[in-house]
Amino acid sequence: MEKKKRLNKRTWLSAPYLIWIVGFTIIPLVVIFQDAFVNAEGSFTMDNILAIFNPIHMKSMILSLAIAAGCTVICILLAYPLVLALRRLNMGREGFLVFGLILPMWMNFILRLLAWQMILSKNGILNMILGFFGIAPLPIANTWLSILIGVVYDYLPFMILPLYNAISEIDEDIIEAAKDLGAGGFTVFKKIILPLSMPGLLSGIVMVFVPSMTSFVVADVLGGGKIQLIGNVIEQEFTKNVDWGLGSGLSVSLMIFVLISMAFTMKNDPEGKESAIW
Amino acid sequence: MVDKIKNFLSRFYIGIILFFLYVPIFVMIVLSFNSSRSRVIWGGFTLDWYRTLFSSSEVMQALSTTMILAFTSAIIATVIGTVGAIGISAMRERNYKIVLAFTNIPMLNADIVTGIALMLWFVRFMPLGFGSVLIAHITFNIPYVILCVMPKIKQMNLSIYEAARDLGANSIYAFVKITLPQLMSGIMAGFFMAFTMSMDDFAITYFTKGAGVNTLSTMIYSQIRKGIKPEMYALSTIIFAFVFLILLAVNYVPKMKNARKCK
C-alpha cells in the first residue's frame, strides 16, 4: 500500500515534461493544422491539403518517395554485412561505433555534403581519378543519383546503430545450435538473425526513411537546385513565395503520409522501439 | 582457413564503409590547408584560413551561439527528460503508453514539419530569436534523453531506494545517493546524444531562428550559393581534431588506468 502511494506520488515528477509536450509538441501541431485548413478570410478550406495532388507537387512527392525508399534499401543492404562483420570480429561499442559513426557526425553535415559535391562534380575528384585511368567522366553531378549518394551517406549511421544494438544481443549459443543442427549460413540468417534483429531493423527504417524523404538540404547541395524534392517545395512556400497556408497544407499532407507509412512499419514490431537507437 | 578468409573479408568490408564515411572529411581537411580558393585545384600549403578564422567575428559569433545553444538545450533537456522519465515510469500502463507515443512525435515527424509547426506557433506570441531556437532544441532533445534514461529506470532496483527511505533517508537524499548513480550512464548518454543532435541540427533552427541569429549550420547554408569561405573548412578541421582527442581520451585513458592497476 505504502509503496503504491509512493509510486503515484512519483508520477508528479513528469509534470514539467507533460507541460512541455502540450506547449511545444501538441499545440504547434494544432496550429499547423489550423493554418492548413483555414484560409486568409478565416473560413474552412481543403485547397491547401489537396494541393499535394497538383501534378508539380505530386512529381516532387513521388521523387522524394523513390529516393527515400532507395536510400532505405541501400542502407539495409550496407548495414547488415557491416554489423555481422563487427559481431564476427568482436569490434564493439568503443572502437568502431564511436570512431566510425559518431565522430563524423561532429563535422557539420552541410559541409560534409559540400565535400561530396566536390567529389562528384563534373571536374571533381572522382572524375579526376577516373580520367587518370583513362575512363570517361561520369555525369553524376546534379542528378538524382548524387542526391541518393548524399542521403545514404548522411543516414547510414542511423541504420547501423539500432541494427548493431539488436544483433549484438543475439546469443551466440543459438547460432551455434542452429549450425550444429545442420543449418547453413543463409538459413541461420533467415531463421535466426533476421527475426531477432527485427526491432533494430524497424527503428533503423524509421530513422532513415523519414529524414531522407523530407530533407531539403541534400537536394539543395547535391541536386544543384534543379531537382525539387517535397522538402524543397515546402521550404520555398515559406521563404520565397510566402504562401504560409499552402506551405502548412503541404506539411500536413507530408506528415500524414509519413505517419501512416510508419504506422504500417511499426505494426510488425512486437516490442516498441524504446532504447533501440543507443 | 575458411575462418581466416571470412575474417579478412569482414575487415575489408568494414574498411570500405569507413572509407565511405571518411572520404568527405578527408577532403575537407585537405581543403583547409589549400592556398587556392578553388575547390579542386591544389595551390600549395597554407595556414591562412586558420588565421582569418580567428579574426572573423561572424564565424566566432556563430560558433559561440552553436555551443551555447547545444550546451544549454542539452542540460535543460537532460533535467526535464530524466525527471520526466522517472515520473512516466511510475504511471499506469495506459497513461505510460500514451505519453511515450507523444514523446515519439518529434522523432517520427519530419524535421521540416517540426520546425515549421514551432515557427507558426512562436510567431503568435514571441519574437523569433535565440529564445525560440532554444525552446525548439529542448523540444527535440528531450525524447533522446528519455530514450536513453528509460531502459536504465527499468533495470533499476527499486528496493534499494525503498531501503534507504526505510532507514531514514529523506526522498531527496535517497534520490541523489541511490537513484541518480544507477541512472548515471543513461543520463550521460542522453546528454551526449542531445548535445550532438543540437550541434548537427539545421532544419528546425532554420525555421525558428528569425533574422540576426546564426548557428554554424545556418551560416554555412547561407554561404552555399555565394561559395563557402575556406575558413569553414579550417573550423571544421579544428572541431574534428578536438572531438577526436576527447573521444580518444574518454575511451582509452580509463583502459590504460585499468591495465596499470592489473599489474
Residue B242 CA to residue B250 CA, distance in Å, equals 12
Chain A neighbors of B53, CB-CB under 8 A? none
Helix axes A109-120, A125-132, angle to 10 degrees: 30
Q: What is the 3-state secondary structure (H, E, C) of A36-57?
A: HHECCCCCECCHHHHHHHCHHH
| CA B35 and chain centroid, separation | 32
The pLDDT tens digits for A256-269 are 888 888 877 776 65
Q: Min CA distance, A80 vs chain B (Å)?
A: 11
Residue B24 CA to residue A116 CA, distance in Å, equals 6
Considering only CB atoms, B221 lies closest to which of A85, A210, A217, namely: A217
Q: Min CA distance, B263 vs chain A (Å)?
A: 23
**CB < 8 Å from A in window 150-209 of B:** 150-151, 162, 189, 193, 196, 199-200, 202-203, 207
Interface test with A, best of B9, B14, B132, B161 (most A CBs within 10 A): B14
**CB < 8 Å from A in window 109-128 of B:** 109-114, 116-118, 120-121, 124
The answer to whether the beta carbons of residues B55 and A142 sit under 8 Å apart is no
Domain ranges of chain B: 54-235
Query: Residue A153: closest CA among chain B residues belongs to which residue?
Result: B21
Considering only CB atoms, B90 lies closest to which of A10, A16, A113, namely: A10
User: Which of B100, B118, B122 is CA-nearest to residue B110?
Assistant: B118
Judge: A109–B86 Cβ closer than 8 Å, yes or no: no
Interface test with A, best of B121, B141, B159 (most A CBs within 10 A): B121
Q: Min CA distance, A201 vs chain B (Å)?
A: 15
pLDDT of A272 reads 46
Considering only CB atoms, A17 lies closest to which of B20, B81, B90, namely: B81
Query: Residue A119: closest CA among chain B residues belongs to which residue?
Result: B24
Task: Tell me the pLDDT band of A275, cut-offs 50, 70 and 90.
Answer: very low
| Cβ-based neighbours of B118, under 8 Å, separated by 6 or more | A24, A28, B132, B135, B136, B139, B204, B207, B208
Residue A4 has pLDDT above 60, yes or no: no
Instruction: Among A24-28, B12-16, B32-36, B84-88, name the one with the lowest average pLDDT.
Output: B32-36
| CA A23 and chain centroid, separation | 26
Residue B260 has pLDDT above 60, yes or no: no
Interface test with A, best of B6, B108, B153, B233 (most A CBs within 10 A): B108
Q: Tell me how far CA of residue A210 lies from CA of A109, B57, B78, B257, in angstroms.
A: 17, 36, 25, 43
The pLDDT tens digits for A165-176 are 888 888 888 888
Judge: B14–A103 Cβ closer than 8 Å, yes or no: no
Q: Min CA distance, B61 vs chain A (Å)?
A: 16
Q: Count the alpha carbons within 13 Å of B85 in the hemisphere toward its beta carbon.
A: 27
| Cβ-based neighbours of B65, under 8 Å, separated by 6 or more | B130, B213, B214, B215
Judge: B21–A27 Cβ closer than 8 Å, yes or no: no
The pLDDT tens digits for A116-149 are 988 888 878 888 888 888 888 888 888 899 999 9
The pLDDT tens digits for B23-66 are 999 988 988 888 877 666 777 888 888 888 888 888 899 999 99
Q: Which CATH superfamily is domain B54-235 in?
A: MetI-like (1.10.3720.10)
| Arithmetic mean of pLDDT, B83-94 | 89
Q: What Rg value do the Cα atoms of chain B yield, rounded?
A: 23
Residue A113 CA to residue A212 CA, distance in Å, equals 13
B247 versus B221: the higher-pLDDT residue is B221
B250 versus B234: the higher-pLDDT residue is B234
Chain A neighbors of B91, CB-CB under 8 A? 11, 14
Chain A and chain B share a number of CB contacts under 8 A equal to 250
pLDDT of A93 reads 59
ipTM above 0.90? no
The answer to whether the beta carbons of residues B113 and A254 sit under 8 Å apart is yes
Considering only CB atoms, B90 lies closest to which of A7, A25, A82, namely: A7
The answer to whether the beta carbons of residues A256 and A52 sit under 8 Å apart is no
Mean pLDDT of chain A: 84
